[in-house]
Amino acid sequence: MTTSQPDTDSSVLELRDVRRSFREAGRTRSVLDGVSFRLAGGEFAALLGPSGSGKSTLLNLISGIDVPDAGEVRVAGTDLHRLSERDRTLFRRDRIGFVFQFFNLLPTLTVEENLLLPLELAGRTTEADRGRARHLLEQVGLGDRAAAWPDRLSGGEQQRIAVARALVHQPELVLADEPTGNLDQLTGAGILELLESMVAASGTTLLMVTHSESAAGRADRILDIREGKVLERVARASGTPG
C-alpha cells in the first residue's frame, strides 16, 4: 500500500484543509476539522470510520451536494466551492459516478433503461454511447437481462447494474458508499472484485466508504476518519515486530 501523496497536477481528487461544522441545539458541532488528502488518476482508496465520524459529510462535500465552511475541494482540477449550485449539479452529473448501498435502480425502468439513464440526463444518446452501455452490461454478466425489471434481479445482480451505471458516462471519479453493505459476504466479495477490475480497466479514481476492514484491504490506500481528521494508514514494514 502506497503512503506517498500524488503530485497536485495528477490529482483527480484533492482536499485542502477542509472544515465543516453544523449547529445543533444551539451549539456548533465540528464534523471535519482540517481534512487534506489527494487521490491520483486510477487510484483506489478506502475511507474507514465509525458511525458519525463524518464519512457522509465528506462524500457530500466531494460530490458538491454540500460546500465546506473553509478549505477547498477539487475534482479533476475544479474547485467545487466556486461553482453555483446549478453548476455543481451538472458537474456531479457529468464527472462523478456513484454506487450506493441500496442500489437505487428505478423500478419503472428496465435494466437497460436504468443503465442508460446517466447518458440520457447528459444528452449523450449517440450510438457509440449506447454501444458502450451494452458492452458494460456484457462485462457485468447481465447482457441477457437488458429487458428485465429490477425487481426480477437478485441483490447482487442489481448491484452489478449499479456498478455499470456508475461508469457508463466515463467519469473521472467514482464514489462508492458501502457498496457491499446490503449483500452477503460472498456476493459482496464478487461486487468488490468487479468494481475494482472495472475502475482499473477504465483508469477511473475510486473512493469507497466502508466499515469493513476486509473490503478496505483491497484498496491501494486506506484512509481513517476519526475526530474530524483523515489520516492515511501506514502499512507496517515487513519484519517489523508487532
CA 179 to chain centroid: 9
* Alpha-carbon gap, residue 152 to 191, rounded angstroms: 18
Angle at 131 between CA 125 and CA 135, to 5 degrees: 135
Residue numbers of the domain that contains 198 = 11-104+166-232
4 belongs to a structural domain: no
206 belongs to a structural domain: yes
90 belongs to a structural domain: yes
Q: Which residue has the higher pLDDT, 182 or 143?
A: 143
- CA 49, 53, 185, 183 torsion-angle sign: negative
33 belongs to a structural domain: yes
Angle at 182 between CA 176 and CA 121, to 5 degrees: 45
pLDDT of residue 50: 84
42 belongs to a structural domain: yes
Among 8-12, 142-146, 230-234, whose mean pLDDT is lowest? 8-12
- Does the structure show a pLDDT above 70 at 77? yes
* Cα pseudo-dihedral 125, 174, 83, 54, rounded to 10: 150
- Does the structure show a pLDDT above 90 at 211? no
223 belongs to a structural domain: yes
Identify which of 13, 16, 74, 71 has the alpha carbon closest to the alpha carbon of residue 47.
Answer: 13
pLDDT in tens, 7-51: 445 789 999 999 999 988 888 889 999 999 999 999 999 999 888
pLDDT of residue 128: 84
pLDDT of residue 237: 44
pLDDT of residue 24: 83
Q: How many domains does the chain have?
A: 1
* Alpha-carbon gap, residue 87 to 79, rounded angstroms: 11
Residue 201: partners with Cβ closer than 8 Å, 6 or more residues away: none
What percent of the chain lies above the pLDDT cut of 70? 93
124 belongs to a structural domain: no
Identify which of 223, 232, 192 has the alpha carbon closest to the alpha carbon of residue 54.
Answer: 223
DSSP H helical segments within the chain, as ranges?
A: 55-62, 85-95, 111-121, 127-139, 155-167, 185-202, 213-216
Q: What is the pTM of this model?
A: 0.87
Whichever domain contains 69, its CATH number is 3.40.50.300
Residue 26 contacts residue 36 (beta carbons within 8 Å): no
Angstrom distances, CA of residue 103 to CA of 36, 154, 176: 29, 11, 11
DSSP state of 224: E
- Does the structure show a pLDDT above 80 at 226? yes
111 belongs to a structural domain: no
**Mean pLDDT over each residue of the chain, to the nearest integer:** 87
pLDDT in tens, 151-178: 999 988 998 899 999 998 889 999 999 8
pLDDT of residue 241: 46
Identify which of 64, 170, 156, 65 has the alpha carbon closest to the alpha carbon of residue 105.
Answer: 156
